Amino acid sequence: MSILADDDPARRAGAILSIDLGAIAANWRGLRDAGRATGRPVDCAAVLKADAYGTGAAVVGPLLAAEGCRQFFVAHIEEGIALRRVLPEPPIYVLNGLLPGTEGDFVEHRLVPVLNHLGQLNAWRAAAQRFNLALDAVVHLDTGMHRLGFGAEDAQFLINERGRLRGLRLALIMSHLVSSEEPSNPINGEQLSRFRTFVRAMPGAPTSLANSSGIFLGPDYHFDLLRPGAALYGINPLPGQPNPMLEVVTLQVRILQTRQIDAFQTVGYGGAWRSARPSRIATIALGYADGYFRNLGNRTFVHLAGHTVPVIGRISMDLVTIDVTDVPEADCQPGAIVEILGPHLTPDILADHARTNAYEVMTALGRRYHRAYVDRFAEAPADETGEPA
């Protein structure tokens, strides 16, 4: 992928984050098809919270709507309001639910709150009466996460008093899995059985249980609607196994300066790395202010011209140092491109080095990067003969 064309605004950027929209679309189609594998009409939503896991909800939302995605989830109402501007029609569900006093904002922007407890249900029902509208609602059942959602007692109350929902249209009953990335964990089956018991007692509404990894637990977990987030953006839903998804992000950062140092010299704050031999050190335009975690110092590597190059010393706010002693000098001149994320080092691998998960790597992706949307499936540029170059 060339990012150095003379007319490319990325020319002056210190760091370029490329987001492959073709890969996101293909990942969504793959998950949708997994839901349809048994012939039941399972729908596939898209979870776009945290700016579509750092990839840009305002771009990814319309992209997936064009692919046929008809339902969207965000966490915050503000995310829903922003998404509504680019997606005028489809349902947008707000997972964090209804904060007191925000009912009018939900109605104004036609957002659907995920109702997490009886208080929210009562408030939403009162809003339906006040605005004289049959408002859509999602009921979130807690089957074991113990964060948000109707607990067992409130759920039983709702089953006994379905009239509590009068005036609302129950658009979805959902629950969320605790450990879906561990297929052999018995909590999966326990949550499945609690969810089944509840939806049997509340017939008629569409149902949803599976996040990305949950989809791979099999059709029992699919219900009517899949709710993938991570897998859309290339995060491996099957830890420890080959990633069935296409990688989405590439992060390329430029060398700012390369210098020669003697043996036994330290590099960076705190002298946290010391050269064992005369060394060449390159400093690149990246730091913890860009979401490159500070604990990656002395603990990960980057790629440069076919070489694996260690990250050395502390991560600074805006700078990272790498040991390029074994890279030919011609390949580490100022302006040269270093691969931070890409084919050699995926967000899942970087997450391992940082002792976190790829979700955090993705959602921390910096706001200072030049963002380039690309499409690996777009036709190759044609040369003058009209043949692909």
Distance CA 32, CA 26 (A): 10
Q: Print the binding letters for residues 91-130 with ligand PLP: x by CB under 6 A, - otherwise.
A: ----x-----------------------------------
Distance CA 171, CA 208 (A): 11
Looking at 29-37, 105-113, 221-229, 381-389, which segment touches ligand PLP (CB under 6 A)?
221-229
Residues 315-374 that bind ligand PLP (CB under 6 A): none
Closer CB to ligand PLP, residue 73 or residue 292? 73
Residues recognised as catalytic:
49, 269
Tokens standing for 21? 């929209």
How far apart are CB 297 and ligand PLP at their closest, in Å?
Answer: 28
* Cβ count near 255 (within 10 Å): 21
Does the protein bind ligand PLP through residue 212 (CB under 6 A)? yes
- Dihedral through CA 168, CA 73, CA 78, CA 195, nearest 10? 60
Question: Do the Cβ atoms of 125 and 164 come closer than 8 Å?
Answer: yes
Binder of ligand PLP out of 60, 230, 249, 372 (CB under 6 A): 230
Residues 253-312 that bind ligand PLP (CB under 6 A): none
- Dihedral through CA 384, CA 386, CA 387, CA 389, nearest 10? 40
Looking at 183-191, 222-230, 257-265, 349-357, which segment touches ligand PLP (CB under 6 A)?
222-230
Tokens standing for 17? 């984050």
Does the protein bind ligand PLP through residue 32 (CB under 6 A)? no
DSSP symbol at 354: T
Distance CA 378, CA 169 (A): 41
* Cβ count near 190 (within 10 Å): 13
Binder of ligand PLP out of 120, 188, 207, 211 (CB under 6 A): 211
Does the protein bind ligand PLP through residue 222 (CB under 6 A)? no
How far apart are CB 304 and ligand PLP at their closest, in Å?
Answer: 32
Nearest-CB residue for ligand PLP: 229
> What's phi and psi for 355, nearest 5 deg?
55, 40
Question: Do the Cβ atoms of 93 and 71 come closer than 8 Å?
Answer: yes
Question: Do the Cβ atoms of 38 and 219 come closer than 8 Å?
Answer: yes
Tokens standing for 245? 């998804």
How far apart are CB 232 and ligand PLP at their closest, in Å?
Answer: 8
How far apart are CB 319 and ligand PLP at their closest, in Å?
Answer: 32
Binder of ligand PLP out of 125, 176, 222, 314 (CB under 6 A): 176
Looking at 35-43, 225-233, 259-267, 310-318, which segment touches ligand PLP (CB under 6 A)?
225-233
Express the helix, strand and coil content of the chain in percent, nearest 5 each: 35, 20, 45
How far apart are CB 110 and ligand PLP at their closest, in Å?
Answer: 20
Does the protein bind ligand PLP through residue 227 (CB under 6 A)? yes
Looking at 194-202, 229-237, 315-323, 362-370, which segment touches ligand PLP (CB under 6 A)?
229-237
Question: Do the Cβ atoms of 135 and 107 come closer than 8 Å?
Answer: yes
- Dihedral through CA 108, CA 114, CA 120, CA 122, nearest 10? 80
Does the protein bind ligand PLP through residue 229 (CB under 6 A)? yes
Closer CB to ligand PLP, residue 231 or residue 248? 231
Closer CB to ligand PLP, residue 12 or residue 146? 146
* Cβ count near 328 (within 10 Å): 11
Closer CB to ligand PLP, residue 284 or residue 351? 351
Instruction: Find, among 118, 210, 124, 223, the residue nearest to 169 by Cα.
Output: 124
How far apart are CB 230 and ligand PLP at their closest, in Å?
Answer: 3
Place of tokens 């750092």: 54
Binding site for ligand PLP (CB under 6 A): 47, 49, 95, 176, 211-212, 227-231
